[in-house]
């Protein structure tokens, strides 16, 4: 039974990643889902510079130039080594009408992240995805649902304030200081957004490393749902792209909105056909068909 037919809460936990038509092609052609850095996020709480206050190590006149230099180093260490990828999860309320609340059926997400319904949603098995991330990051990762709170990033839940301590900075250096902050303030810095984003039901995977990070997707995908305006030429080569990844059976569907109600069908091309091509494996000229499971 595909995830479309299962009641929510049954079967494997799923993660839904919205992307554009070009994003889908890039992910399938590379075989990897690439993580982004914090400065590419939409929430100003995350995309802006951390300008937290400083406590000087010694009394005396305030040294603004030194504070600015240390603030820049802390931002580089905290932000440029934090890579993340965002997903939507299933809503908790069942709907008797269409797929309202399902992770792949969010109209706002389709508009903002799915290229105004021209893109796609990649559906991942959560447990297999987290296992793959743990392996590629050597355990230097975190994951969890985002909580939505209106308030200053500097304001802590206990009423305190995030502050850079110059004495700690001088004693252990920025790298060790950042490591402690990731542990002590992980939820505050990386898993909290303003309430404007609450409808996204976001789940994040965070990886800490100096270079770019990406997740190999083969073996993790449960399905691909195309937007109702996904370009027909791209639909025609979807099977080819999947087959090149060694994926020959997958749940494929295309969204439809009937009077505003989300649904899914399997006529990928205007003539009602699936539109999957065959590929040449380049070895013995045998043709390997892509055999999708259609919703």
Residue 75 DSSP symbol: H
Instruction: Note the pLDDT of residue 268.
Output: 67
- What DSSP assignment string belongs to 130-143? HHHHHHHTTT-EEE
Averages of pLDDT over each 10 residues, the chain, 295 residues: 63 90 97 89 78 74 79 82 93 74 93 97 96 89 93 75 82 86 88 91 92 92 94 90 87 89 76 51 36 46
Q: Among 12, 38, 45, which Cα is nearest to 197's?
A: 45
> Would you say how long the chain is, in residues?
295
Domain boundaries, the chain: 14-294
CA separation for the pair 289, 94 (Å, rounded) = 37
Instruction: Note the pLDDT of residue 50.
Output: 78
Helices (H), 88-125: 107-112
Q: Among 212, 204, 230, which Cα is nearest to 25's?
A: 230
């Amino acid at each position: 039974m595909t995830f479309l037919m299962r009641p929510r809460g049954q079967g494997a936990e799923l993660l839904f990643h919205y992307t554009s038509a070009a994003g889908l092609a890039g992910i399938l052609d590379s075989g990897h889902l690439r993580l982004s850095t914090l400065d590419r996020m939409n929430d100003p709480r995350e995309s802006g510079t951390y300008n937290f206050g400083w406590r000087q190590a010694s009394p005396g006149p305030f040294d603004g130039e030194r504070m600015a230099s240390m603030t820049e180093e802390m931002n580089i260490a905290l932000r440029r080594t934090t890579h993340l990828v965002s997903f939507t999860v299933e809503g908790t309320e069942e709907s008797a009408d269409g797929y309202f609340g399902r992770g792949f059926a969010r109209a706002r997400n389709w508009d903002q992240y799915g290229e105004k319904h021209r893109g796609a949603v990649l559906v991942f098995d959560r447990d297999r995805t987290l296992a793959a991330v743990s392996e590629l990051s050597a355990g230097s990762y975190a994951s969890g649902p985002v909580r939505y709170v209106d308030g200053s990033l500097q304001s802590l839940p206990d009423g305190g304030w995030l502050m850079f301590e110059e004495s700690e900075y001088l004693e252990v250096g920025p790298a060790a200081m950042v490591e402690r902050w990731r542990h002590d303030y992980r939820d505050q810095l990386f898993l909290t957004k303003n309430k404007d984003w609450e409808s996204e039901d976001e789940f994040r995977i965070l990886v800490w490393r100096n270079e770019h990070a990406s997740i190999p997707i083969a073996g993790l995908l449960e399905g691909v749902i195309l937007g109702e305006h996904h370009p027909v030429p791209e639909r025609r080569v979807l099977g080819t792209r999947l087959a090149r990844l060694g994926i020959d059976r997958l749940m494929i569907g295309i969204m439809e909105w009937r009077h505003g109600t989300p649904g899914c069908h399997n006529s990928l091309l205007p003539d009602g056909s699936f539109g999957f091509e065959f590929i040449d494996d380049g070895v013995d000229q045998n043709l390997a068909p892509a055999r999708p499971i259609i919703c």
